[in-house]
Amino acid sequence: MSFAQLPNIKFAPLNVPFPRRRQTAAVAMWMFLVPLFVVIFLAVLFTPRLTLLALGYLVFIFIDKSHETGGRAVAAFRKFIYWTWVKDFFPINLEKTTDLDPAKNYIFGYHPHGIIGLGAWINFATEASQFSEKFPGINLRLLTLETNFLIPLWREVLLSLGICSVSRKSCENVLKKGPGNSIMIVVGGAAEALHAFPGTNELVIKSRYGFVKLALRNGASLVPVYSFGENDIWDQVPNPKGSVVHTVQTSFRKYFSFSSPLFHGRGFINYDYGLLPYRRHVVSVVGTPIDCPKTESPSDELVQEYHQKYLEGLQAIFDKYKDQYAKDRKGDLTFI
């Protein structure tokens, strides 16, 4: 390949203001925390004088059930300025459309999953967007896969932000803690990540009834949240149904519970190639809550009724804000 045939790469100028460089560094650090923690743990494990310490920590990981009992959030960590730097990189914003009664419990549904769900992390697991000021009295826990709490050191970050397991036991433990205690479920999960292409708005939700049953059993109100721009911050390798990529990704998700989207974005010093996300605006809009009657054994008809109400709530958010926050959309909201 001749020099003339090399890809046209746009590099970041040398005079980029320091705050923007700091934002990029903060996002890069967040992206590589998991592999960094794994390397640190392995280094400790294979250092003879520290091996017992590492083994003791492994035992602690398997006996500690904080991720099922509400976590152990550290307010100062949730307010750490670092999260604001990550937020301002895109930027990511939180839009409130109504007040929430702190005397109730809520199940927030977050959509779409995107590649990683950065909007959920920043807006609801940290105080970078002042969640507690906008929704006083609501003690919200973002939920994630239980396997994340098996990763050394990374699990401590999750727990310090109040993030908990998405298991049914964990959900009910939080909701039973009293008024205001609430959870957020990224409903589309791993399957939806494979639909996260810029400009698209496809939600895997038609057959997702578990969160509605949970709300009815606990008398919790459902709160739809749509995050405009979540699908736009990375590009993804096309994976049409029937392709080799799609087949491999589907098989991977079946056996490992999480998906493996082949995503790419920008680099640390260039705007065209790399794994860092693009600087694209993300706005999470919190919709109107849907009160659910407490029903110990909800019938299929009741579950479907409130599932439909929830879909209508999501549609209402999208229809109201799509021309403001999704001007370059390639399609309207689709439930699959």
**Arithmetic mean of pLDDT, 29-56:** 97
Handedness of CA 89, 268, 186, 321 (dihedral sign): positive
48's CB contacts (< 8 A; 6+ apart) are none
Residue 4 has pLDDT above 50, yes or no: no
Q: Where are the domains of the chain?
A: 11-335
At 216, phi and psi to the nearest 5? -65, -40
Q: Say what the pLDDT of residue 254 is.
A: 67
Q: Which residues pair with 334 in a beta bridge?
A: 202
Residue 256 has pLDDT above 90, yes or no: no
The gap from C-alpha 105 to its chain's centroid, in whole angstroms, comes to 20
Class of domain 11-335: alpha beta
Locate 57 and state its tokens: 């920590």
Q: Say what the pLDDT of residue 149 is.
A: 97
**Arithmetic mean of pLDDT, 249-264:** 72
Q: Say what the pLDDT of residue 128 is.
A: 98
Residue 180 has pLDDT above 60, yes or no: yes
Q: How confident is the model at residue 6 (pLDDT cuts 50, 70, 90)?
A: very low
Question: Phi/psi zone of residue 229: left (φ > 0), alpha (ψ -120 to 50 degrees), beta?
Answer: left
Residue 83 has pLDDT above 80, yes or no: yes
Q: Say what the pLDDT of residue 1 is.
A: 43
Percent of the chain scored above 70 by pLDDT?
95
Higher pLDDT, 8 or 171: 171
Q: How confident is the model at residue 10 (pLDDT cuts 50, 70, 90)?
A: confident
Distance between CA atoms of residues 336 and 333, nearest Å: 10
Q: How confident is the model at residue 260 (pLDDT cuts 50, 70, 90)?
A: confident
At 140, phi and psi to the nearest 5? -100, 135
Residue 2 has pLDDT above 60, yes or no: no
Whether pTM > 0.75 for this model: the answer is: yes
Amino acid at 60: F
Mean pLDDT of the chain: 94
